[in-house]
Amino acid sequence: MKAVLDANEVAAYLKSHPEFFDQYADLLAQVHIPDPHGGRAISITERQLGALRERNKQLEAKLAELIRFGEENDAISEKIHRMTVALIAASDFGAVMRELYSHLGGAFEVPHVALRLWGIAQTEERAAQAEFSPADDTTKALASSLKHPYCGPSSGLEALSWLSSGVRSLALVPLHRENETIGLLALGSEEQHRFYPEMGTLFLSRLGSIVAAALRRTLT
């Protein structure tokens, strides 16, 4: 009695004997399989070409996405560069704050920005500035605990009270002086997904380093 091979055995045989279609090349033209996009039968060659075209479309879409991300990152890098130059040129604390708020609200289009600083010697002039308004211990502890900027919902955070009403998402960027946390930069948006937990924080971390350096220079 003749043995009958099942589909798995046929597939295994063809995988382990790639020379099969070299010996039976005409078979490729004779074998027809269902068209995945219709009811007609097509040859293996046509099916392979169709699969290659589909794969090519996927790769083109992925490449377009990578190019878009690259262009977006280039644009952000340019904005960070311009702001860095402006902060370096700022001669005092007031100038640093003006440049910071101007760039974040302008080029970066962040509608709500606030900054709080602590652990810095107070003066009569500083006591009157919003940036030196007291922050509660919970906020200070949160800032000190952040290894990366926080991005996400604004509910339940004291930093929300520093900003105008209507803020639905926040980015909180800790500011450091050596190993000490000296402040927190809060960025807010009415858009729920402008700042979201899964977003990358590389540029926000760089922003924090740049701002902290400018502050250390002008507050000493």
Give the CA distances from residue 101 to residues 9, 50, 65, in Å, rounded to whole numbers and listed in that order: 69, 54, 31
14-18, 119-123, 159-163 — which is least confidently predicted? 14-18
| pLDDT: which is higher, 204 or 122 | 204
pLDDT surpasses 60 at 107: yes
Mean pLDDT confidence for 127-135: 90
Question: One-letter amino acid identity for 112?
Answer: H
The mean per-residue pLDDT over the stretch 154-177 comes to 87
Which amino acid would we find at residue 28? L
CATH 3.30.450.40 residue spans of the chain = 90-219
Say which DSSP state 169 is in: E
Q: Three-class SS string for 19-51? A: CHHHHCCHHHHHCEEECCCCCCEEEHHHHHHHH
pLDDT of residue 29: 62
Average pLDDT, the chain: 86
- Using an 8 Å Cβ cutoff, are 138 and 158 in contact? yes
* For helices 202-219 and 93-105, angle between their N-to-C axes, nearest 10 degrees: 160
Helices (H), 90-201: 93-105, 124-127, 137-145
What is the pLDDT at residue 88? 95
Comparison of pLDDT for 147 and 159, the residue scoring more: 147
User: Going by C-beta distance under 8 Å and a sequence separation of 6 or more, which residues neighbour residue 139?
Assistant: 116, 157, 158, 159, 184
> pLDDT: is 50 or 1 the higher one?
50
pLDDT, position 219: 86
pLDDT in tens, 79-99: 999 999 999 999 999 999 999
Has residue 2 got a pLDDT over 60?
Answer: no
Which pLDDT score is estimated for 64? 87
Q: Give residue-wise pLDDT tens across range 31-76.
A: 665 656 665 655 666 667 777 888 888 888 888 888 888 888 899 9
More reliable by pLDDT, 211 or 122: 211
Largest CA distance in the chain: 104
Q: What is the pLDDT of residues 173-212, one digit of tens each?
A: 999 998 899 999 999 999 999 999 999 999 999 999 999 9
Spell out where 51-168 has E strands. Answer: 112-117, 150-153
Contact (Cβ atoms closer than 8 angstroms) between residue 100 and residue 115: yes
Taken in order 66, 72, 75, 81, is the CA torsion positive or negative?
negative
CATH superfamily of 90-219: GAF domain (3.30.450.40)
